[in-house]
Amino acid sequence: MKLTTLVFNLGALFAAVAATGPDGARAADLRDTTSSRYTLQFAGSGEHTLEVRAVTGNITVEAYDGTDVEVLVDRSLESWSRSDREAADREAKLDTADKSDRIRLVVRYGDEPTCGEINDRRNTHWDRRAWDVRYDFTIRVPKNTRLDLCTINDGNIVVSGTRGDYSIRTINGRITMDDVGGSGEATTINGRVTATFANAPRSASRFKTLNGDVVLEMPAQLAADLRMKTFNGGLFTDFEVEPVQQPINVSMRRENGKFVYRSSGFTSVRAGGGGPELTLETMNGDVRVLRRSH
């Protein structure tokens, strides 16, 4: 693994106007950015997976024709005081692992769980810290790499040109996939999900948000079963489709002495004679399955 680090101390840029902060620190001293470059390598002849788990920050992945995984990480730190900054440097770390069929980039804040890990603690220190550290990733991967990407706060995920399967998750951010192949899931809570496919998914796939549109652009030869749902929005497609008969999925529970029945609310249609089930779901937004325009 090769590592090159460049450090930019923003405090020097504002020294002339810096104000005094807690612990006698100048305000400009409490903020800096570090950029690091990694060259990571896969090993083994099986399926190769890139795993990125962050807490705050964006993840951008682009396919290229090389064999290594090239990583640029921008680390931004803000703190109230020098002692808080020292605490951030101790606790906020990026763990890396390569030389196997899975390359891992995992952000750790002390011993707290990171994105995708179960938090079985009742209390967390995240909201009480007097510092904030974000990691923004820009990564180039071999085209057939499988992706396992996860971030939480202020985290947009952008993927372009890959052909491997994927698991893409964020909470507060958009998911954008361009010229991709493979199958998998792309889910967020607050953000739009858009994907343009060079090749339609080969197996069941899922695209979901709570607040935002879900938009897929597919090749003209799409053959799939589309399972779509929105609560505040519309369902649209410019493919020729026919309804799919399906069992009515109704749940029941008792409220205030009355039985309440609810339907799953999905609309299912078949395009091109049918194929893998593609599930598109949002609460507040439109669902669109469109012919790829280029």
Tens place of pLDDT per residue across the chain (294 aa): 555 444 444 443 333 334 444 455 554 358 899 999 999 999 998 899 999 999 999 999 999 999 999 999 999 999 988 899 999 999 999 999 999 999 999 999 998 889 988 765 544 544 568 899 999 999 999 999 999 999 999 999 999 999 999 999 999 999 999 999 999 999 999 999 999 999 999 999 999 999 999 999 999 999 999 999 999 999 999 999 999 976 655 455 666 665 544 556 899 999 999 999 999 999 999 999 999 987
Single residue among 123, 157, 173 that ends a domain in this structure:
173
Question: Rounded CA gap, 115 and 29, in Å?
Answer: 29
Angstrom distance (rounded) from CA 211 to CA 282: 7
Tell me whether residue 180 is in a domain. no
Task: Tokens 């199958």: give the residue.
Answer: 183
166 plus 226 within the same structural domain? no
> Any residues with CB less than 8 A from the CB of 279 and at least 6 apart, and which?
204, 205, 206, 207, 208, 227, 228, 266
Is residue 160 domain-shared with residue 232, that is, in the same domain?
no
Find, among 60, 57, 68, 65, the residue nearest to 33 by Cα: 57
Q: Are residues 228 and 168 in the same domain?
A: no
Residue 185 lies in a domain: no
- Domains: count for the chain: 2
146 within a domain of the structure (yes/no)? yes
* Same-domain pairing of 79 and 220: no
If asked whether residues 28 and 101 sit together in one domain, one would say yes
Whether residues 70 and 116 fall in one domain: yes
* Residue 56 within any structural domain of the chain: yes
Same domain, 122 and 231: no
> Which of 157, 173, 189 marks a domain boundary?
173
CA distance 244 to 90: 56
Same domain, 8 and 129: yes
Domain residues for 233? 207-294
> Do the domain assignments include residue 29?
yes
**Same domain, yes or no: 154 and 63:** yes
Q: Give the Cα separation of 36 and 231 in Å (integer).
A: 43
Final residue belonging to a domain, choices 153, 173, 193? 173
234 in any annotated domain? yes
Q: Does one domain contain both 142 and 9?
A: yes
Residue 196 lies in a domain: no
- The answer on 241 and 167 residing in a single domain is no
219 in the same domain as 129: no
Q: Which residue intervals of the chain are DSSP H helices?
A: 82-91
Is 288 within the bounds of a domain? Answer: yes
